[in-house]
Structure 1
Amino acid sequence: MPVPWPEGGPWVLATTSASVDWQRAAAALAAASTVRAAALVFGSAERPGELLLGELATVLEAGDAAADPLSVDEAAAVVRTLARTHGLVLVVGVPGLLVPAGRAGWTPMDLAVAVSAPVVVVTGTGPDAANHASLALGAVAAHGLAAAVITVGDLPGDAAPAAVPAADAGAAGEPGPGDAAEQPVPEHEAGMPVTPAGRVPAGALPDDHAVAARRWLHPLLHASAGRPKGDTPPPAPQPLPPPATTSGKRVVLLLAGVFVSLSLVVCGLAFCQPAGQTDMSLEQVEVTAGPEGFVRPEPEPGDLARPGAAPGPDAGAASARPVAEICPQHRGRVTPARPDRATTRRVNAAWQRIEDWLAAHAPAGRRSLAPPAAAQTVDAAQRRMSVAFPADLVASLRRHDGVRPRSAGFALPPFYLPMPVADLPAEWLMLCGVLAEVFDAPESTWWDRAFVPFASSGDGGNLLVDQRPGRRGRVGEFFNEEGVSFDGWPGSVAELLERTADSLETGRPYAGRYRPRVTADGALDWDIV
């Protein structure tokens, strides 16, 4: 069965040898897209050139693997962080898909599995191209991921540089309709199990690289979903509704023009490292400051007050406040929440119902639930974030510390994976940093330092609990291009778990919208009805 090709998000780009011009392939993918693109590069001795830097908003190179290697989970966290502010994230593995790239010998293939990313295999046009591409495609097929092939180099004979005119995305090794297209087959492609979805020629670049790139690459490789390439200022933000009027309203803030500095990404990820472990090593290469002509919109009369932004024509030019000032860490005497017996019993009862149903109907989902978090780990996260968690969230973490790494067997409706407590501070700080960098104020309609994320959708969204005074414990939904909404979400984590258990046991759609379903491999999924 064909595997759908995503229109954006993370794509793993792996070369078949160190001699393949991966930069030209990555630049073509970025140029052909309509979204802001980033690249995270592993294993390349070649620094990014002008062509690549000219097409990407952000380029990160992993530090020397021999000095301070990333674990696969840390690398996945970097990818997910970039995906929050970029529509396309190219994860580049040089010199190959199965070559170790980090701590404990993980490979780009392992990272593709961890973030559920399709794989773009980049090969040359030499006599070994078909053999090398076939080996890489076989590895991808074994993991059930989607794959495509791009060739880079001189095209022998009369072969055209244009991509295959019609081919559906599919699992590696499964030819699509385009494989039967009537067109000359270059000799180096004769042994490939699939027709390349892109042919990028060598030599001088055309005047309009974007137009040419879209011609070289099949439309499935034209990323279009997510944060667009910005050329207009963002709309004026709308205020969050007051506590008494949140029901039935949805807060929308289009995050056009948000260009997050890479120092934020690095700080956000290093922030969650336990004492005694090495920090992640990332090197900032290039970050664009923002779209030309970007101006901060003047506040409307109904907007929330924004301390620190003086009125006047130069108000929008003020420097962003430090992240530590917007979202302080270890600030004040935060008393970590400890659930009482009644709260613990209620949460455990809801989890027991969920566990029993999973064990009987979705065993892969039951296996994906992680063991309990240690009490001291939960306490440390609260002190670090300077926010006391609601007691029922603490009780839930003490029952299951999220889901196991690289496991998608269980999700809260409709697609939110419970996060381990070790990931909460990094997620919180990253979003607080966007607040500091973009909105230049401690209050915002988009995010608040008193929001505690606890489940992630992997595409820029999460579930959170609101710990602002007067609203403590309420569950809400966040997405980076929309902001926060509490519409339709329960008043507590305990209620969320109970409603989830009700839906599983009865088969009735959660909130009338999401019906539980068990996949062929025994995982829990939710269908939109």
Structure 2
Amino acid sequence: MSETGADVDERVAEAWGRVEAGLSRILPDSLRQLNAQATAQEINAVEAALAIPLPRDFRASLRIHNGTDPGSSLPLPAPSPVPLTYLCDTNAIIEMTRMWRDNHHPEPEWDDPQVWAYLVERKMLWLNGPVRPIIGSPDAVVVGDMNGDVQWLLDFDPAPGGTPGQVVRVDVECASWDVLAPSWTQLLVRYAEDLELYAADPDSSKLKIDHLGPACEWGSTPADSWGMRPAWLQDVQPRSPYAT
């Protein structure tokens, strides 16, 4: 079977199994927030509503867990199983992506690699990996949210060196864009590895966990790289977007 067949489903199932095993050691109460599987009809409805095909591995993931459910906020919910308030279910993917796309207002003077290079150098924009910082990009699908402040996207129009469907963490308020993984499967594996490391040696893991679950800063731009351009912007001549 090719990589577009049953082996993809198997790898996703293995990755989710590792995530669940890690959570059972660290945050067992969070497991109740993992939703049951989505149906093929529900997944197809997402693609039809957003006019974009979802990566096979993300479809496979939805057939295992259709997002997560934080439940009621009163009393306080169980800790989240992910470094977000929730992963979107199929209905929330449609709703949140439409809201995201409503914020797309093309600005040729600003949506330019030269300007991004200028802003990164002056620590007004943080880019970690091959991602174009275009708010509301129609080539993205929202798959997770943290109180409306931080979102995870599937990015189908990556910067040079990126992979269509890569997973990006976006904090619009902080102007921070981070490529978490080149695919959904690799994101799950990365998260599983950090859960396993946390269980063995918390100080060595990239995860920070409190009573609410893993902190949303997981995967965000390292402080010591602020002001440094990512590889794909290295040879771009910076340009100020401000009138002189």
Normalized against structure 1, the TM-score is what? 0.31
Residues 402 and 421 of structure 1 are in contact (CA less than 8 Å); yes or no, is this contact kept in structure 2? yes
The counterpart of 1:410, out of the listed 80, 102, 110, is 80
> Matches of 1:390 and 1:420 in 2, distance apart?
15
Residues 453 and 464 of structure 1 are in contact (CA less than 8 Å); yes or no, is this contact kept in structure 2? yes
Q: For residues 518 and 482 of structure 1, do their structure 2 counterparts lie closer, same or farther at Cα, with a shift above 3 Å needed?
A: closer
- Supply the RMSD in Å over aligned alpha carbons: 3.1
1:431 is matched with 100
1:446 is matched with 135
How much does 1:510 deviate?
A: 10
Q: For residues 511 and 490 of structure 1, do their structure 2 counterparts lie closer, same or farther at Cα, with a shift above 3 Å needed?
A: farther
> Matches of 2:22 and 2:205 in 1, distance apart?
20
How much does 1:483 deviate?
A: 5.2
1:370 is matched with 35
> Matches of 1:363 and 1:354 in 2, distance apart?
11
Residues 446 and 484 of structure 1 are in contact (CA less than 8 Å); yes or no, is this contact kept in structure 2? no
Normalized against structure 2, the TM-score is what? 0.64
Partner SS, residue 382 of structure 1: helix
> Matches of 1:461 and 1:381 in 2, distance apart?
21
Task: Please tell me whether residue 514 in structure 1 is matched to residue 203 in structure 2.
Answer: no
Partner SS, residue 63 of structure 2: helix
1:490 is matched with 181
Letter in 2 for 1:345: E
Q: For residues 341 and 447 of structure 1, do their structure 2 counterparts lie closer, same or farther at Cα, with a shift above 3 Å needed?
A: same
Q: For residues 475 and 493 of structure 1, do their structure 2 counterparts lie closer, same or farther at Cα, with a shift above 3 Å needed?
A: same
Task: Please tell me whether residue 399 in structure 1 is matched to residue 71 in structure 2.
Answer: no
Q: Deviations over 1:31-81 (max 9, x none)?
A: xxxxxxxxxxxxxxxxxxxxxxxxxxxxxxxxxxxxxxxxxxxxxxxxxxx
The counterpart of 1:380, out of the listed 25, 29, 45, is 45
Task: Please tell me whether residue 476 in structure 1 is matched to residue 168 in structure 2.
Answer: yes
How much does 1:392 deviate?
A: 1.5
Q: 1:63-212 to 2 correspondence within 5 Å?
A: none
Task: Please tell me whether residue 499 in structure 1 is matched to residue 190 in structure 2.
Answer: yes
How much does 1:405 deviate?
A: 4.7
* Aligned-residue identity in percent: 23
Residues 152 and 169 of structure 2 are in contact (CA less than 8 Å); yes or no, is this contact kept in structure 1? yes
Partner SS, residue 181 of structure 2: coil
Q: Deviations over 1:356-388 (max 9, x none)?
A: 232344221111111011111011111110111
The counterpart of 2:9, out of the listed 336, 341, 344, is 344
Letter in 2 for 1:481: E
Q: For residues 352 and 384 of structure 1, do their structure 2 counterparts lie closer, same or farther at Cα, with a shift above 3 Å needed?
A: same
How much does 1:447 deviate?
A: 2.8
Residues 70 and 85 of structure 2 are in contact (CA less than 8 Å); yes or no, is this contact kept in structure 1? no
How much does 1:410 deviate?
A: 2.6
Bigger Rg over Cα: 1
Q: Unmatched 5+ residue regions in structure 2?
A: 72-76, 112-133, 219-244
Greater helix share, 1 or 2? 2
> Matches of 1:389 and 1:395 in 2, distance apart?
10
> Matches of 1:525 and 1:495 in 2, distance apart?
18
How much does 1:411 deviate?
A: 3.8
Partner SS, residue 486 of structure 1: strand
Residues 371 and 399 of structure 1 are in contact (CA less than 8 Å); yes or no, is this contact kept in structure 2? yes
Q: Which has the higher contact order (CA 8 A, sep 6+)?
A: 2
The counterpart of 2:90, out of the listed 413, 418, 421, is 421
Q: Unmatched 5+ residue regions in structure 1?
A: 1-338
Partner SS, residue 350 of structure 1: helix
Residues 446 and 483 of structure 1 are in contact (CA less than 8 Å); yes or no, is this contact kept in structure 2? no
